[in-house]
Amino acid sequence: MGMKILITGGLGFIGQNLLRFLVSKKEIAKIIVVDNYSQIKNPDLKDLKNIKYFSKENYKINKSRINIIKANIKDFSFAKLICSEIDSVIHLAAESGVDISVNRPKYAFDVNVLGTFNYLEASRLNNVKNFIFASSGSVFGKATPPMHEDYEKKPISPYGSSKLAIESFCNSYASVYDIKTTILRFSNAYGNHSFHKNSVISKYIKNILNNKPLIVFGDGRQTRDYIHVNDIVMAIFRSIKTRNKSESYHIGTGVETDLNQIIKIMSSIFKKLGYNIPVIIHEDNRVGDMKNNSLYIKNTYKKLNWKSSIQLNEGIKNTISWYISNQ
Ligand SMILES: NC(=O)c1ccc[n+]([C@@H]2O[C@H](COP(=O)([O-])OP(=O)(O)OC[C@H]3O[C@@H](n4cnc5c(N)ncnc54)[C@H](O)[C@@H]3O)[C@@H](O)[C@H]2O)c1
């Protein structure tokens, strides 16, 4: 019998890429998505076959390979119901905006901590084998990159704190109960299906396409570890299949790239496509943002046998093409 996978937040950026990848895998018999449609109101999944849509009230067990259920992860009763007969939960649902967590910390806490805890607990109660949690490099706060797994974790945003809180529950659940919890700390993701994102690569592509200025916070020398979403999807797939015990893995490239470099790469690709590059406006740094960031990835390679394979230039080029054909 094939595997049954539950993806929370499966209509989001990483979720939609993961969903399409998992559909191509024969060993996956069923994929259930739980999402409240808060980021994408009308998801376009026409390319996927054998798919059924439900509200949480009218959901019934059925034969469709893909089930998309509109539900809020804050609903614990529904979490308990939907986690029955699931082999792996991939928990992506979150309020993923750092700035939103700074402005609305209680809201971010309710979704990212309470909502996530609901699915961890529902997984335990239903004997789910794997709980895979989308964490973030933001748990390290201002540490000097590359962030090593052993570094002290001192988040500088409520978003980072919410991720760290759940990491802690994943660790205690793994040691007390018979559940495997896998923590994946993603660095900064970019790629297809990210129209709704406010991350810098998405924002800049949209602004260039609409001839709007590019805003740079500070001097543009702040760095991030940019990882293509297809690489993340591969890492999640490896985490589903690995026989390793509960672990945390760093899912990044280990490479730091600054904003000025991102603008340079994009400008060159867009110019070749015949687009004008809009003006660049400098504004003050944002609260809760770290200056430099990249993840130490060598242990992930050793333990999970995964490393990123998509180069930044190539990844940005493909992402731009996707935006142009889907705008
Ligand atoms: N994108 C990145 O660069 C990045 C980096 C590190 C970690 N992460 C983590 O990876 C996960 C996925 O990120 P993403 O970029 O795809 O984000 P996203 O915002 O595109 O997707 C999140 C999905 O969760 C859903 N959701 C939000 N609140 C919900 C709720 N209360 N109930 C049900 N569904 C809800 C949204 O509708 C959305 O479809 C998140 O947990 C995020 O914190 C992302």
Q: List, for residues 218-231, the tens digit of each pLDDT value.
A: 899 999 999 999 99
Please count the CA atoms within 13 angstroms of the CA of 207 that sit on its side-chain side. Answer: 21
Q: What is the mean pLDDT of residues 290-315?
A: 96
How confident is the model at residue 327, as a pLDDT?
86
Is this prediction's pTM over 0.95?
Answer: yes
* Residue to mutate (ligand 1; options 36, 78, 92, 248; most atoms within 8 A of CB): 92
DSSP state of 137: G
- Reported as a single tens digit per residue, the pLDDT across 137-189 is 999 999 999 999 999 999 999 999 999 999 999 999 999 999 999 999 999 99
User: Is residue 111 over pLDDT 80?
Assistant: yes
Could you say which DSSP state residue 292 is in?
Answer: -
Round to whole Å and give the CA distance between 309 and 252.
10
In a domain, 144, yes or no: yes
Our answer to whether residue 249 is catalytic in this structure is: no
Residues 6+ apart with CB under 8 A from 210: none
Q: Is the pLDDT of residue 81 over 80?
A: yes
Q: For 194-214, how does the pLDDT look when each residue is reduced to its tens digit (9 = 90+)? A: 999 999 999 999 999 999 999
More confident residue, 288 or 81: 81
> Is a pLDDT exceeding 70 seen at residue 76?
yes
- Give the pLDDT confidence of 18-70 residue by residue, as tens digits: 999 999 999 999 999 999 999 999 999 999 999 999 999 999 999 999 999 99
Q: Give me the number of domains the chain comprises.
A: 1
Pocket lining for ligand 1, CB < 6 angstroms: 9, 11-15, 35-40, 72-74, 92-96, 111, 115, 134, 136, 186, 188-189, 199
Exposure string of 178-198, with b = 16+ CB inside 10 Å and e = fewer, is ebbbbbbbbbbbbbbbbeebe
> For the domain that residue 154 is a member of, what is the CATH number?
3.40.50.720
Q: Write out pLDDT tens, residues 242-270.
A: 999 999 999 999 999 999 999 999 999 99
Residue 307 has a pLDDT of 97
The pLDDT, as a whole number, for residue 286 is 75
Q: Whose CA is nearest to atom 21 of ligand 1?
A: 12
Asked if residue 109 belongs to a domain, the reply is yes
Residue 211 lies in a domain: no
Asked, for residue 202, whether it belongs to a domain, the answer is: no
For residues 276-293, give the mean pLDDT.
85
Mean pLDDT of the chain: 96
From residue 26, alpha-carbon distances to 10, 30, 61, 65 in Å are 19, 10, 21, 11
Give residue 285's pLDDT.
83
Within a domain: 279:
no
Q: Is 235 inside a domain boundary?
A: yes
- Counting residues of the chain whose pLDDT is more than 90, the rounded percentage is 94
Cα 93 to ligand 1 centre (Å): 4
Structural domain boundaries, residue 102: 3-190+226-255+288-309
Mean pLDDT of 75-94: 98
Q: Give the model's pLDDT for residue 288.
A: 59
Catalytic residue among 159, 204, 226, 323: 159
With respect to residue 321, please indicate whether it lies within any of the assigned structural domains.
Answer: no
Q: What is the DSSP string of 67-80?
A: EEEE--TT-HHHHH
Q: Is residue 203 part of a domain?
A: no
pLDDT at position 291 over 90: no
